[in-house]
Amino acid sequence: MTKALFINGSPRKNGNTAKLLLRAMDGASEAGAEVELVNLYDRNLNIKGCMSCFICKLKGGKKGVCSFKDDLLPILQKAVEADVLVCGSPCYCGYPTAGLRAFMERMEFPTVNYSDYSKPTVIKKIHSATIYTMNCPNEELYRMMNYDHLMDNSAMQLGVFGPTEILRSYDTYQFSDYGRFDAASFSPEHKAEMRDTQFPKDLQQAYELGIRLVKQVIAER
Ligand SMILES: Cc1cc2nc3c(=O)[nH]c(=O)nc-3n(C[C@H](O)[C@H](O)[C@H](O)COP(=O)(O)O)c2cc1C
């Protein structure tokens, strides 16, 4: 059975990022995968970034997967054993969220082989993707704001495990009621139009992404 794990790095369990991840999950499920979603910001979870314990670099230590014991540990163990991994995050101040960065640090650092950088310690090949959502209205501004370096570089770290891709959803609908907030830079009408016209297309892309990743895994068997 193909295992597909979805990591929501947004504090909102029903926000733009979660909605796209859920559509990608639908796609993966329909393509035959066993799917699971983890909300990194679940209030019951106590999660830290890399604690610099260096167990993953210790002579005779466990390699390729983080050993630091907190609530992220079982999630990381599932992630390195998954066939498909899809991470999602809003853009926060130009970066992926701190929660997703914590996950990424602890996914990636154990693969870094200090004895031979050209041979990362990868337990298993994973087909992966990262879904980003943001206010930023388009790819042109995304590049102008340097988000391609700040956000895409983080996402591309998953490439150490296998083929990886990025899906971006721009100009997302941030507030349920724009009238309640000091947010004069945004036109509520424009935001609603994007929500009703562009976001459904992004959802479709997420759905197709889920199908595609699972089909890639099945085709390689
Ligand atoms: C703390 C914070 C910082 C943000 N910073 C940015 C930013 O730098 N650039 C941007 O385009 N959007 C920014 N946004 C907007 C979110 O990325 C956007 O609304 C996103 O779709 C929210 O995802 P969610 O619905 O999954 O929570 C920010 C939102 C918050 C709450």
Q: 192 pairs with which residues across the strands?
A: none
Q: Whose CA is nearest to atom 2 of ligand 1?
A: 92
Residues 6 or more apart from 113 whose CB is under 8 A from it? 119, 120, 121
Residue 158 pLDDT class (50, 70, 90 cuts): very high
The number of domains in the chain is 1
Tokens of 191: 């935001």
Candidate of 134, 142, 195 to mutate for ligand 1, largest count of ligand atoms within 8 Å of Cβ: 134
Q: What is residue 67's predicted lDDT score, i.e. its pLDDT?
A: 98
Q: Quick one: average pLDDT of 125-139?
A: 98
Q: What is residue 198's predicted lDDT score, i.e. its pLDDT?
A: 98
User: Separation of 93 CA from ligand 1 center, angstroms?
Assistant: 7
Pairing status of strand 84-92 against strand 95-96:
antiparallel
CATH of the domain at 179: 3.40.50.360
Q: What predicted TM-score, i.e. pTM, was given to this entire model?
A: 0.98
Burial class (CB in 10 A: 0-12, 13-18, 19+), 183: middle
As a whole number of angstroms, the distance between CA 193 and CA 119 comes to 48
* Domain containing residue 132: 3-219
pLDDT per residue as tens digits for the range 69-126: 999 999 999 999 999 999 999 999 999 999 999 999 999 999 999 999 999 999 999 9
Q: Quick one: average pLDDT of 38-62?
A: 97
As a whole number of angstroms, the distance between CA 108 and CA 156 comes to 11
Q: What is residue 208's predicted lDDT score, i.e. its pLDDT?
A: 99
Angle between helices 16-30 and 188-219 (to 10 degrees): 30
Q: What is residue 147's predicted lDDT score, i.e. its pLDDT?
A: 95
Tokens of 209: 């992404």
Q: How far is CA 43 from the centre of its chain?
A: 19
pLDDT averaged over the chain? 98
The residues lining ligand 1, judged by C-beta closer than 6 Å to any ligand atom, are 10, 12, 15-18, 90-94, 133-136, 172, 174
Element (H, E) at 42: none
Q: Whose CA is nearest to atom 31 of ligand 1?
A: 92
pLDDT per residue as tens digits for the range 162-217: 999 999 999 999 999 999 999 999 999 999 999 999 999 999 999 999 999 999 99
Q: Whose CA is nearest to atom 8 of ligand 1?
A: 93
Q: What is residue 178's predicted lDDT score, i.e. its pLDDT?
A: 97
Q: What is residue 121's predicted lDDT score, i.e. its pLDDT?
A: 98
